[in-house]
Structure 1
Amino acid sequence: MTAIPQGRTRRAALVAAICVGAVTGTAVLTGCGAEDPDAGTNGVGKLPADKIQAKTRSAAQGASAVRLSGTVVTSGRTYQLDMRLKADGGTGSVTSKGATFKLLRVGKQLYLKADADFWNQAGGKNGADGAGEKLNGKYVKVPQGDPAYRKFSGFTDKDVLLGGLLSLHGTLATDGHHDDAGTRTIRITGDKGSGGSLDVSLEGTPYPLRLVRGGGAGTLSFSDWGKDFAVAEPAKGETVDYGRQLPTS
C-alpha cells in the first residue's frame, strides 16, 4: 500500500477543520462544498451594488411593459396601485382614502373612471352635487391643463414612474441573496436600508422584482416584464366630460 505523505495529511486535516468552523460559525465557504448562491444565475449577484442598480435600471427601461402593485406614499398620502404600463399608455386602479378609481392613458389622453360615490364626494368639494349618477362607471376625459392630469398621469407613465422609484438613496451595498415568489434575487440597499432596498432577479434578465422605499414611503412588487397588453380609447358611449376641474384628493 502506498503511504500518504504526512504533509498532505496535515493539509487535509486543516481544510476539514476550517470547513467545520465555517459551518458552525457565520462564514460560508464554497470551497468546503457549500452551494454557490450565484451558480446558474445571470451573474449580477457577483457585482458591486452600484453596478447591480445600473443593470436593473437599464433592464427596466428596456422592457416593453411591466405590472406594478403595492403602495406609494407621496406628499403624506398613501396610494394603493395596481397598474400595467408600457411606452404608449397604461391602465389600472388607484385606491386612496378608501376611494378607488381607474386610470387609462392612451398616448397623451388620460381618462379617469369611478363609481357614483367617488363623484358625489368630489362634487361636494367642487360644486357639482348630484354628478355621481351621470358619471358613474363612465370614462371622464382629463384635460392636460387640469391639476388632476399632472397628479395622476405619472401613475400611468412607465418611464416617469420607474425613473422616480428605482433610485435608492445614500451609500449602496449588497444585502445577501433572497427569494421572491420562487425567483432567486440579490438585494441591494441604500444606507443599510434606511434609503430603501431593491430585490433584483438573478434569473434571466436582471429585472427589479421588489422595492421597499426609504422612509416608509411604500412597497412595490414588479411582474409581467415584457408582457404586452392592449390600451384603446373607450367608446363614445362610455365617455363623458366632467365640465369643471377634476378632483385630485
Structure 2
Amino acid sequence: MTAFPPGRIRSVVRAGGVCALVVAGLAGLTGCGGEDPDAGTNGVGKLPAATIQAKTKKAAEQAKAVRLSGTVVSNGTTYALDMRLKSDGGTGSVTSKGVGFRLLRVGKHLFLKADAKFWAHQDDKDGGKGDTAAADKLEGMYVKVPTGDPAYQRFSGFTDKDVLLDGLLSLHGSLATDGHHEQSGVRTIRITGDKGSGGTLDVSLKGTPYPLLLVRAGNAGTLRLTDWGKDFPLEEPSRKETVDYGQQLPAS
C-alpha cells in the first residue's frame, strides 16, 4: 500500500472536495476552483449576443427615464451631450464647435437657451448688423422653436428618448459577445458588431439589463447611459423667461 505524506493527503482531499461540489452542480463554480462570472447576475451574460441586444433594447424602451452623456458625431459634427430624457420630453446641454446651449422639450414644445456667443453667430438680412442686438435680447432666455423651423428638426431628436435610443443602440454587422467587464462598479457583458468595428455595447448584469456604455461604430462617439428609471421634473419655462419668434427663428 502506497503511503502519502500528510500534506499531499490534504491537497488531494481539498481538490476532490471542490470537484465534488462541481459535480453536485452548486452555483458559483464552473470547474475545479473556477468561479462562474455569471453567478449572482441577471443571467443575460450566458445568452447569444443577438438575444442580449434584443433584451437591452426592450429594457431601454420600457424605462421611464434615462440620462445620456458623452459625444455623438453626426454629419461630420461632434456634439457633446448631457441629456435627461423620458417619454414626453427631455432637457440638458449640447456643445458643438465650442458653443454650448440648452434644450428643453415638453411634449411638442421645444425651447433653446443659449448665451450671447451662440446668438452672435446668427445671420441677419442686414449683413450681420443685427447680431449684437439679437444676442443681447436672446441671451439667457428660452427661445421657443417653431415646429416648422429647420432648427426644430435638427435639435428635437436630442430630446426624444425613443428616437435617440433606437438609433444609437443598434450595432452594425455580425454580433458577438466580448467577455465580462465593469462600468462604474456594475458588472457588464459586452456585445460587439463585427468584432468592434460595428460598435460595442456594455449591458448591465445587475437587475434589469440596461445598456450602460455605447461605443459607436466608425469613431462616431461614446455615450454613457445612467439613471435608468429615475424621474425628473419637466415643465415649460415661464413667460418671463421665454421669447417666441413665431414662425421662424433667426437663420443659423
TM over 0.5: yes
Match of 2:227 among 224, 227, 237: 224
By how many angstroms is 1:34 displaced?
1.3
Match of 1:245 among 228, 234, 249: 249
Q: Is this contact kept in 2: 1:142–1:246, CA < 8 A? A: no
Q: Secondary structure at the match of 1:227?
A: coil
Amino acid at match of 1:129: D
The corresponding residue for 1:93 is: 93
Counterparts of 1:165-180 in structure 2 under 5 Å?
165-180=168-183
What is the Cα-based RMSD across aligned positions, in Å? Answer: 2.4
CA distance in 2: counterparts of 1:60 and 1:246, whole angstroms? 36
Match of 1:129 among 128, 131, 137: 131
CA distance in 1: counterparts of 2:245 and 2:123, whole angstroms? 10
CA distance in 2: counterparts of 1:203 and 1:123, whole angstroms? 50
Q: Secondary structure at the match of 1:103?
A: strand
By how many angstroms is 1:124 displaced?
5.7
Q: Secondary structure at the match of 1:122?
A: coil
CA distance in 2: counterparts of 1:80 and 1:46, whole angstroms? 34
Q: Is this contact kept in 2: 1:148–1:246, CA < 8 A? A: no
The corresponding residue for 1:22 is: none
Counterparts of 1:69-80 in structure 2 under 5 Å?
69-80=69-80
By how many angstroms is 1:211 displaced?
0.1
For residues 16-65 of structure 1, give each alpha carbon's deviation from its aligned partner in whole angstroms, at most 9, with x where no partner exists.
9xx9xxxxxxxxx8212111100000000000000000000000000000
The corresponding residue for 1:49 is: 49
By how many angstroms is 1:241 displaced?
2.6
TM-score after normalising by structure 1: 0.86
Q: Is this contact kept in 2: 1:147–1:246, CA < 8 A? A: no
Range 126-135 or range 217-226, more displaced? 126-135
Percent sequence identity is 72
For structure 1, which runs of at least 5 residues remain unmatched after alignment?
20-28
Range 208-217 or range 126-135, more displaced? 126-135
Check if 1:202 corresponds to 2:205: yes
The corresponding residue for 2:38 is: 38
CA distance in 2: counterparts of 1:124 and 1:210, whole angstroms? 41
For residues 86-121 of structure 1, give each alpha carbon's deviation from its aligned partner in whole angstroms, at most 9, with x where no partner exists.
001100000000000000000000000000111012
For structure 2, which runs of at least 5 residues remain unmatched after alignment?
20-28
By how many angstroms is 1:122 displaced?
2.0
CA distance in 2: counterparts of 1:138 and 1:223, whole angstroms? 29
Q: 1:247 to 1:222 in 2, by over 3 A?
A: farther
The corresponding residue for 1:138 is: 141
The corresponding residue for 2:120 is: 120
Q: Secondary structure at the match of 1:179?
A: strand
Q: Is this contact kept in 1: 2:201–2:214, CA < 8 A? A: yes
Q: Secondary structure at the match of 1:101?
A: strand
The corresponding residue for 1:211 is: 214
The corresponding residue for 1:233 is: 236
Query: In the comparison of the two structures, how many residue pairs are matched?
Result: 229
